[in-house]
């Protein structure tokens, strides 16, 4: 397997992060009018957690983007761990889409992403989710 599994088991803080992402979508789930179906939570190195839900439009914003935008708005720049969940109760942990992988790579390549690998919760560094990544010119 190409992913390096360094025994990245989830900590209590990681479980709390998942719970916060689930709370964000549970409080805002809307499968009819605005298609809010995904919640995300990002934990910064400061310890602060920011959450978001996806915002629907033609080129809508993913929940991860909304959560990261909330963090950046509060002058956070160092990100530790991020997770996204889908469903009315946020029951499904989902991996970031391709666009988000690029954003994570640009903003926080060392940030750990919680996702399911072979039906197990694991943390994988953002940069490992986008091999041969596009890099903006310096």
Residue numbers annotated as active site: 64
Q: What is the closest distance, in whole angstroms, from the C-beta atom of residue 44 to Zn ion in the complex?
A: 19
Residues of this chain, 96-115, that bind Zn ion according to CB under 5 A: 97, 100
Tell me whether residue 70 or residue 97 sits nearer to Zn ion (CB atom).
Answer: 97
Is residue 62 a contact point for Zn ion (CB under 5 A)? yes
Query: Residues binding Zn ion: what is the number (CB under 5 A)?
Result: 3
Span near Zn ion by CB under 5 A; candidates 32-40, 75-83, 92-100, 115-123: 92-100
The answer to whether 54 and 62 have CB atoms below 8 angstroms apart is yes
Picking from 8, 16, 56, 61, the residue whose alpha carbon sits closest to that of residue 33 is 56
74, 111 contact by CB (below 8 A): no
φ, ψ of residue 10 to 5 degrees: the values are -80, 145
Q: Which window, 10-18, 22-30, 90-98, 110-118, contacts Zn ion (CB under 5 A)?
A: 90-98
- Residue 21 in the binding site for Zn ion (CB under 5 A): no
Residue spans of beta strands (DSSP E) within the chain: 38-44, 49-53, 79-86, 92-94, 112-117, 120-125
Residues near Zn ion (CB under 5 A): 62, 97, 100
């Amino acid at each position: 397997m190409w992913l390096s599994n360094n025994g990245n088991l989830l900590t209590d803080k990681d479980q709390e992060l998942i719970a916060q992402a689930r709370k964000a979508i549970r409080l805002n789930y809307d499968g009819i009018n605005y298609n809010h179906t995904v919640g995300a939570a990002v934990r910064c190195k400061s310890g602060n957690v920011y959450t978001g839900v996806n915002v629907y439009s033609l080129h809508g914003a993913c929940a991860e983007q909304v959560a990261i935008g909330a963090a950046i708005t509060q002058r956070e720049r160092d990100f530790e761990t991020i997770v996204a969940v889908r469903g009315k109760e946020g029951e499904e942990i989902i991996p970031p889409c391709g666009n988000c992988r690029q954003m994570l790579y640009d903003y926080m390549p060392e940030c750990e992403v919680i996702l399911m690998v072979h039906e197990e919760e694991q943390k994988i560094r953002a940069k490992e989710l986008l091999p041969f990544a596009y890099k903006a010119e310096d």
